[in-house]
Chain A
Amino acid sequence: MSWLLIALLAVPLIGAAVLLIAPALGRVSAYGIAVSGVTLAVAVAVAVAFDYGHPGRMQLQTNRPWIPGLDLRFHLGLDGISLPLAVLTALLTFLCFVYLARHRPEGGRQRALVFTLLVLEVGMIGTFLALDLLLFFVFFEVVLIPMYFVIAVWGGRDRRRAAVKFILYTLLGSAVLLLGLLAVWAQAGTLDMVDLAARHGSGIPRSAQIVAFLAIGVGLAVKTPMWPLHTWLPDAHTEAPTVGSVLLAGVLLKMGSYGFARIAIPVLPEGAAALAPWLGAFAVVGIVYGSLACLAQRDLKRMIAYSSVGHMGFVLLGFATLTPVGMNAALFGNVAHGLITGLLFFIAGAIKERYGTADMARLGGGMLRRLPYIGSLLTFACIASLGLPGLAGFWGEMLALLGAYKPAAVLSRPLFVTFMAVGGVGTALTAAYFLVMLSRVTHGRPIDTVPAGPLMASAEEVREFLGPDEPVEPVATGAAVEEAAEEAPTGDVPGGGRLVDVTVYELAAWVPLVALTILFGVWPKALLAVTTPAVQAIFGVTS
Chain B
Amino acid sequence: MIQSIDYAALAVPLILTLLAGLVLVLDAFLPDRPGGGRLLGLVTLGGVLAALAVLAAQAVAGVERRTFCVPASLEGGRTLEGGRALAGGPALTGGLSGRVPGPVLASGSASASCSFVVDRFTLIFAALVLVAGAIVVLLSMGELAGGRIPVGEWYFLLLSTLVGAILLAASRDLIMLVVSLELVSLPVFALTALKRYDGRASEAALKLFLVSVVSTAIMLFGVSLLYGITGSVHLDRIAESYEAGRGLTFGGAAGAYTSTLDISFAGAASSPGSAVTTVAVVLVLAGFAFKIAAVPFHFWAGDVYQGAPIPVAALLSVISKAAGFAGLILILTTALPSQAGVWAPVVAVIAALTMTVGNVLAMRQRNAVRLLAWSSVAQSGYILAPLAVFANVVQRAHARVVVEHQVETAREAVLNVSRSVARPAVSLLPADAGPLVRATNVELSRTAGVAIGPVANASIAYLVFYAAMNLAAFAVVMLISRERQRNEVDDYRGLAFRSPGAALALAFSLICLAGLPPGLSGLFAKVVVFREIVDGGLGWLAVVMAVNTVIGLYYYIAWTAKLFTPLPGGESRTRSGPVVVAIGVAILITVVFSVAPQVVLSAVG
**A interface residue numbers (CB < 8 A to B):** 66-70, 119, 123, 134, 137-139, 141-142, 144-145, 148-149, 152-153, 160, 163-164, 167-168, 171-172, 175-176, 178-179, 182-183, 185-186, 211
Do A144 and B546 have beta carbons less than 8 Å apart? Answer: no
**Cβ proximity bits B147-160 to A, threshold 8 Å, 1 near / 0 not:** 00000000000000
Q: What's the nearest-Cβ distance from chain B to residue A59, in Å?
A: 26
Q: Nearest chain A CB to B378's CB is how many angstroms away? A: 14
Determine if B567 is an interface residue (Cβ-Cβ < 8 Å).
no
- Find out whether the CB atom of B598 lies under 8 angstroms from the CB atom of A68: yes
Of A70, A123, A139, which is within 8 A of B597 by CB?
A70
Q: What are 21 residue pairs bridging A and B, where the CB atoms are less than 8 Å apart in the complex? A: A69-B600, A70-B531, A134-B527, A138-B520, A138-B523, A142-B517, A144-B517, A145-B517, A145-B518, A148-B561, A149-B561, A167-B553, A168-B550, A168-B553, A168-B554, A171-B550, A178-B527, A179-B542, A182-B531, A183-B534, A211-B539
User: Which residues 570-605 in B have Cβ within 8 Å of A in the complex?
Assistant: 596-598, 600-602, 604-605
Contact (Cβ within 8 A) B549 A68: no
Residue in chain B with minimal CB distance to A112: B564
Taking a contact as CB atoms under 8 Å apart, the answer to whether A175 and B528 are in contact is no
Assembled-state Cα–Cα distance A137/B602 (Å)? 22
A139 to B546 Cα, complex, angstroms? 18
| Residues in chain B near residue A142, CB distance under 8 A | 517-518
Known: A167-B553, A167-B557. A145 touches B534 (CB 8 A): no
CB distance from A252 to the nearest CB of B (A): 15
Asked if B483 CB lies within 8 Å of chain A CBs, one says: no
Q: Is the CB of A175 within 8 A of B597?
A: no
State which residues 26-68 of B face A: CB under 8 Å.
none
Q: Take A69-B598, A152-B561, A153-B564 as given contacts and tell me if A175 and B518 are in contact as well, using a CB distance cutoff of 8 Å.
A: no
Name the contact of A148 in the complex, choosing from B524, B547, B549, B557 (C-beta under 8 A). Answer: B557
CB distance from A144 to the nearest CB of B (A): 6
Which residues of the other chain, B, contact A119 by a CB distance below 8 angstroms?
518
Look across to chain B and name the residue whose beta carbon is closest to the beta carbon of A170: B550
**Across chains A and B, which 9 residue pairs bring their CB atoms closest together, nearest first?**
A69-B601, A175-B546, A182-B534, A142-B517, A186-B535, A172-B550, A141-B517, A67-B598, A175-B549
Give chain A residues whose Cβ lies under 8 Å from the Cβ of B553: 167-168, 171
Chain A residues with Cβ below 8 Å from B543 are 176, 179
Contacts of A167 in B (CB 8 A): 553, 557
Assembled-state Cα–Cα distance A226/B439 (Å): 55
Q: Are A185 and B531 neighbours in the complex by a CB distance under 8 Å?
A: yes
CA distance A66 to B527 in the complex (A): 15
Given that A141-B516, A171-B549, A178-B546 are contacting pairs, would A67 and B601 also be in contact in the complex, using a CB cutoff of 8 Å?
yes
Q: Shortest beta-carbon distance, A29 to chain B, in Å?
A: 21
Chain B nearest CB: distance from A42 CB in Å?
Answer: 22
Q: CB of B558 within 8 A of chain A?
A: yes
Nearest residue, chain B, Cβ from A169: B550
Contact (Cβ within 8 A) A123 B517: yes
Measured CB to CB, the nearest residue on chain B to A65 is B598
- Interface on B for A, CB 8 Å cutoff? 461, 511, 516-518, 520, 523-524, 527-528, 530-531, 534-535, 539, 542-543, 546-547, 549-550, 553-554, 557-558, 561, 564, 596-598, 600-602, 604-605
Return chain A residues, CB-CB under 8 Å to B601: 67-70
Smallest beta-carbon distance A88→chain B, Å: 22
Identify which of B516, B528, B531 contacts A145 (C-beta below 8 A). Answer: B516
Contacts of A66 in B (CB 8 A): 598
Q: How far is the CA of A119 from the CA of B524 in the complex (A)?
A: 19
B contact face: mostly helix, strand, loop, or mixed: helix
Set of chain B residues within 8 Å of A69, measured between Cβ atoms: 461, 528, 597-598, 600-602, 604-605
Of all chain B residues, which has the CB nearest A183?
B534
Kindly list chain B residues whose C-beta atoms are within 8 Å of the C-beta of A138.
517, 520, 523
Closest to B507 in A: A145
| A67 to B596 CA separation, bound complex (whole angstroms) | 7
Expressed in whole angstroms, the Cα–Cα distance for A145 and B522 within the complex equals: 14
A211 contacts which chain B residues (CB < 8 A)? Answer: 539
Contact A182 B516, beta carbon cutoff 8 Å: no
CB of B524 within 8 A of CB of A67, answer yes
* Cα separation A137 to B523 with both chains bound (whole Å): 10
Apart from A69-B598, A138-B523, A182-B535, what are 8 other A-B pairs with CB-CB below 8 Å? A67-B596, A70-B597, A152-B561, A171-B516, A175-B549, A185-B534, A186-B531, A211-B539
Instruction: Return chain B residues, CB-CB under 8 Å to A160.
Output: 561
A141 partner residues in chain B, CB cutoff 8 A: 516-517, 523
Instruction: Verify B517–A164 contact, CB threshold 8 A.
Output: no
Contacts of B461 on A, CB cut-off 8 Å?
A: 69
Complex alpha-carbon distance, A176 and B561, angstroms: 25
Q: How far, in Å, is A207 (CB) from chain B's closest CB?
A: 12
A71 to B148 alpha-carbon distance, docked (Å): 51
- How far, in whole Å, are A153 and B497 apart by their CA atoms in the complex? 14
Chain A residues closer than 8 Å to B523, beta-carbon distance: 138, 141
Residues of A within 8 A of B527 (CB): 70, 134, 137, 178, 182
Q: CA of A377 to CA of B385 in the docked complex: distance in angstroms?
A: 56
Given the complex of chains A and B, what is the CA–CA distance between A178 and B523 in angstroms?
11
A67: which B residues are within 8 A, CB to CB?
Answer: 524, 596-598, 601
A191→B547 CA distance, assembly (Å):
24
CB < 8 Å neighbour of A70 from B524, B550, B554: B524
A189–B584 Cα distance when bound, in Å, is 39
Report A-chain residues with C-beta under 8 Å of the C-beta of B554: 164, 168
CB within 8 Å for A144 and B516 given contacts A171-B550, A186-B535: yes
Q: Contact at B528–A70, with CB atoms within 8 Å?
A: yes
Listed residue (B531, B534, B549, B598) with the most chain A CB atoms within 10 angstroms of its CB:
B534
Q: Contact: A179 with B534, CB < 8 Å?
A: yes
User: For B511, B518, B605, which residue has the most chain A Cβ atoms within 10 angstroms?
Assistant: B518
Kindly provide the distance from the CB of B117 to the nearest chain A CB, expressed in whole angstroms.
24
Smallest beta-carbon distance B496→chain A, Å: 9
Which residues does chain B contribute within 8 Å of A178, judged by CB atoms?
Answer: 527, 530, 546
Rounded to whole angstroms, the CA-CA distance of A148 and B553 in the bound complex is 12
| Closest beta carbon of chain A to B364's beta carbon, Å | 16
Q: Give the shortest distance, in Å, between B463 (CB) and chain A (any CB).
A: 15
Instruction: Report the minimum CB–CB distance from B516 to chain A (whole Å).
Output: 6
| A179 and B546 contacting across the interface, CB-CB below 8 Å | yes
* Cα–Cα, bound, A134→B530 (Å): 12
Q: How far is B507's CA from A149's CA once the two chains are assembled, in angstroms?
A: 13
Query: Residue of A at shortest CB range from B528?
Result: A70
* Interface core residue of A123, A144, A148, A178 (most chain B CB under 10 Å): A178
Contact between A186 and B534, CB atoms less than 8 A apart: yes
Assembly CA distance A164 to B564 (angstroms): 15
User: CB-CB < 8 A to B542: which residues of A?
Assistant: 179, 182
A175's contact among B517, B524, B547, B561, by CB below 8 Å, is which?
B547
Q: How far is the CB of B543 from chain A (nearest CB, A)?
A: 7
CA distance A211 to B531 in the complex (A): 16
A residues in contact with B605, CB < 8 Å: 69
Give A176 to B548 CA distance when docked, in angstroms.
11
Give the distance in Å from the alpha carbon of A149 to the alpha carbon of B520 in the complex.
18
Complex Cα distance, B116 from A42, in Å, reads 59
The residues of A that contact B511 with a CB separation of less than 8 Å are: 145
**Shortest distance in angstroms between B134's beta carbon and chain A's nearest beta carbon?**
26
How far apart are the CA atoms of A246 and B523 in the complex, in Å? Answer: 28
The distance in angstroms between the C-alpha atoms of A152 and B558, with both chains bound, is 11
Residue of B with least CB distance to A145: B516
Q: How many whole Å from A141's CB to the nearest CB in chain B?
A: 5
Cross-chain contact A179 with B518 (CB below 8 angstroms): no
The answer for the CA separation of A276 and B527 in the assembled complex, in Å, is 28
Distance in Å: Cβ of B256 to nearest Cβ of chain A:
39
A328 to B244: give the CA distance in the assembly, Å: 63
In the complex where A69-B597, A138-B520, A142-B517 touch, is A149 in contact with B564 (Cβ < 8 A)? yes
